[in-house]
Structure 1
């Protein structure tokens, strides 16, 4: 998990999930993860 939290994410302009959470945008990250979990194609 630490590796994922600190890896840049293409859907968020290269920011890491950790940066997204710190910047107060956790809901956008949660929404993205829910789409992946539901089987949304990337």
Structure 2
């Protein structure tokens, strides 16, 4: 926790929030990419 607080003091709160949100978006984007890539297989199997 001390590492996070020192990082906030060094770079500023808005930058820390931005980095956190980018990390969260990246993980969700990976899930969307995997879902889109598996879509053709699902469509083939449903016919």
Q: TM-score normalised by the shorter chain: which range applies? A: 0.3 to 0.5
* Higher helix proportion: 2
Which gives a bigger RCO, structure 1 or 2 (Cα 8 Å, sep 6+)?
Answer: 1
Which of these two proteins has the greater Rg computed from alpha carbons?
2
TM-score, L = length of structure 1:
0.42
